[in-house]
Amino acid sequence: MARNLRGAGASAVLYLPGVLFYLNRTRSPTTPPLAVPRCSRTALSSTSSGSTARMSAAAGNCSDPVAPPAAKKVEHRMEMFGDVRIDNYYWLRDDSRSDPDVLSHLQRENAYTDSVMAGTKQLEDNLFAEIRGRIKEDDISAPTRRGPYYYYNRYLEGKEYIQHCRRLIPDSEAPPSVYDKMPTGPEAPPEQVILDENIKAQNHPFYHVAAFQVNPSNKLVAYAEDTKGDEIHTVYVINAETGATVGKPLANVTSYLEWAGDDALVYITMDEILRPDKVWLHRLGTEQSDDICLYHEKDDIFSLDLEVSESKKFLFVASESKNTTSTFYFNVSKPEDGLQVLTPRIYGEETRVSHRGNNFFIRRRSDLFYNSELLACPLDDVSNTTVLIPHRESVKITDMQLFADHLVLFERENGSQKVTVYRLPALGEPLTQLQGGRSIDFVDPVFSVDRSESQFSSNILRFTYSSMRTPPSAYDHDMDTGISVVKKIETVLGGFDESNYVIERKWATAPDGTQIPMSIVYRKNMVKLDASDPLLLYGYGSYEICIDPSFKGSRLSLLDRGFIYVIAHIRGGGEMGRPWYDNGKLLKKKNTFTDFIACAEYLIEKGYCTKEKLCINGRSAGGLLMGAVLNMRPDLFMAAVAGVPFVDVLTTMLDPTIPLTTSEWEEWGDPRTEEYYHYMKSYSPVDNVRAQNYPHILVTAGLNDPRVLYSEPAKFVAKLRDLKTDDNMLLFKCEMGAGHFSKSGRGLRSSDEVIACYLEISFSNNIGQKEGFC
């Protein structure tokens, strides 16, 4: 758990709080312009202090908008190392989410944002229809083979949630082929709906199934549901045939959940600061209070993770910090043995493990072998390791996937992904250093590829591929012949043609000379590349997470109106190998911010845009990036969208009672030491807001967010309202029934994007009125 996006990244690239910022600026030959009602056009005038804007309707029969909220000031004094900080908005933090004054302030902020948007309901509806109109609502995912069944998700027209379904494979004993297709005609085995989330979600403002696990016999399913957005789950076990509930639910657990045979579950729970700290064994038919605690991680720097081997014979529990991992194994056939140590805790060493035959496979990273090496050891002698793939300075191993006869490595080189397939010796033969790996070829210059569930006993690798112009596509790859067959391409309605879009890789130079990669996409008949085009620059840069250049259908509403979209692969992420991460964390964190600024300056210098048409976007730890660069170079940007931003860094990292604080001292530093205190204070956005002009800013939050407390963006906005010297828009939207990942449901997520889009259009109206851009 981190201040990041669900999963590592593909869909996260455009959460879109934003940004059809200049949506009316130009029109696509296929997309009509959107008429913005005049009553959303606003004129701004300053109060006597010059720090708070007063809005009045420019024309039409619009009601007077609500004034921007001014949060009350309650002095809260904090002193450390002789340094005194005054936080006038500390009172906005209420862990119970029930304080009337806090809720009232958040509601006033939401009312103000709604007021700015007065008269734009038709615009919202048009955008919603456009974005959702690209989605094939009645659809299914690429079916996955598990035993005698094809499993898949079904999407229904007009419904917000999925159905979990399966069909029998007509001849499940036949060897699988990349050319296999699930029969769906009248003669096909009937579809069975195992779980309909639309029914489960009734009467819940938020609903998310975070784990859906089928037991080995395919008779039972365990799933973990979250009904608040706080990522605290309840686990239910149901009969896969009838849907009947089996036993009592497991309460207050994480989404880490795996079967240990047909009649037992292993799961993880959290402590009071939401740190996954205990792993449990539950036998069906028993009370949760009787469950066996397999391990308790008492060191609050470390959190627990749970995975199952591809062979399904072992479970692996990882105790991990930001730079150290130890691993235990659990033999499913010998549950009485409990957890056994596989890789001991060695500070600075990280491991990921799996199993095949008589061996464990270990991906190990250390300070010396920073891009990882691949090892194997016998099951009965785990300290006797053999190097299969040695460390390489230019190639980072990011993941591995094991099969009965093959090994697949997911790697990175020079900022791009690679997938390499190795043939393994027959079971029982000795393992030695592997040679002759074969890489899978991809067509786009920059792209994203992710592993998918595959059958361990087969020779078929399932992976998902996309690029900034190529919709997500599921492939089956025959690892013996090298043939790849597409199994499913996400349908994009509305006349989409990927040949209309250009993708590029460019490099900016950071102040220390480091070359920073960027991924760029635009519609070739809609941009001039003469500095007249609007541009959205996205960044993240934390936790070694790679923001790979993937596809997002809602992004087309930008591209088809002449926007250029750019991802800055800045340090703190993992795109260029482990040193890329190490040079963007702790006492080198400011490299993340200066890298992003260097990318913005490069795009202006090369004529992609001007600073008057440059918009920026980031969320969570990327929201920290937004806050930092806004304080450092507010003159460089026209608008910024900060989603659930981690902006009160110093105060949060000084408070071990806040979720994630203790586990992230190895990411940001521990400010209880003086060096880290002063360094962190020098960039923490809330601590560096000052009296200066800022661009237009939209900030979002989720009241139930356990990763970034809603109070952080609330305080940031309150301080900006008090100190900023401009008349530019500052809007804050707090979702009162959601967490870190906004609203749930297929359409509601799109709707959330639409809301942010038309917020940005109001920005553009103001800019157009003042500066002649619209």
| Residue 200 is assigned to a structural domain of this protein | no
Identify whether 399 is a catalytic site residue: no
The amino acid occupying position 326 is S
Please count the other Cβ atoms lying within 10 Å of the Cβ belonging to residue 66: 17
The pLDDT value given to residue 6 = 40
Coil/strand/helix, residue 364: strand
Q: What was the pLDDT predicted at 7?
A: 35
CB of 703 within 8 A of CB of 110?
Answer: no
Q: How far is the first Cα of the chain from the last one, in angstroms, to the nearest whole number?
A: 42
CA 652, 656, 657, 660: dihedral to nearest 10 degrees?
70
pLDDT at 4 (0 to 100): 60
| Residues 39 and 61 sit within 8 Å (Cβ to Cβ) | yes
Is residue 333 flagged as an active site residue? no
* Residue 539 confidence (pLDDT): 97
Please list, in sequence order, all residues whose beta carbon lies within 8 angstroms of the beta carbon of residue 491, skipping any fewer than 6 positions away.
Answer: 135, 136, 139, 471
Which residue reads 């008090």 in tokens?
722
560, 705, 727, 752: which is the annotated catalytic residue? 705
- The total of structural domains in the chain comes to 1
Would you state the pLDDT for residue 478?
98
- Is residue 129 situated within a structural domain? yes
Task: Report pLDDT for 746.
Answer: 64
In the set 40, 554, 620, 711, the catalytic residue is 620
Q: What is the CATH number of the domain that holds 676?
A: 3.40.50.1820
Predicted local confidence at residue 741, as pLDDT: 67
Residues 6+ apart with CB under 8 A from 394: 371, 413, 414, 577
Q: What is the pLDDT of residue 742?
A: 64
Instruction: Confirm whether 620 is a catalytic residue.
Output: yes
Q: What whole-number distance in Å separates Cα of residue 94 and Cα of residue 312?
A: 44
- Where the chain has pLDDT below 70, the residues are 1, 3-65, 120, 741-774
Flag whether 677 is in a domain: yes
* Within-domain flag for 389: no
Instruction: Decide if 434 is inside a domain.
Output: no
8 Å CB contact between 405 and 368: no
pLDDT of residue 744: 65
Report if residue 150 sits inside a domain: no
Q: Work out the burial of residue 451: count CB atoms within 10 Å of its CB; fewer than 13 is exposed, 13-18 middle, 19 or more buried.
A: middle
Beta carbons within 8 Å of 253's beta carbon, 6+ residues apart = 224, 232, 233, 234, 235, 267, 268, 269
Whether 509 is covered by a domain: the verdict is yes
The first and second tokens of residue 601, run together, are 């300056």
CA-based angle 641:645:649, to the nearest 5? 140
> Which residue is catalytic, options 208, 391, 696, 740?
740
Tell me how far CA of residue 135 lies from CA of 143, 489, 753, in angstroms: 19, 12, 14
Q: Please check whether residue 228 is in contact with residue 206, taking contact to mean a CB–CB distance below 8 angstroms.
A: yes
Closest C-alpha among 238, 281, 236, 275 to residue 254: 275
Tokens found for residue 667: 């990411």
Residue 557 DSSP code: H
Give the pLDDT confidence score for residue 377 in this predicted structure.
Answer: 97
402 part of a folded domain: no
- What pLDDT, on the 0 to 100 scale, is given for residue 598? 98
C-beta atoms surrounding 471 within 10 Å: 19
Nearest Cα neighbor of 265 from 242, 303, 235, 297 is 235
Report how far residue 28's alpha carbon sits from residue 11's, in angstroms, rounded to the nearest whole number: 25
* Structural domain range at position 123: 76-91+99-133+499-765
Identify residue 53 by its one-letter amino acid code: A
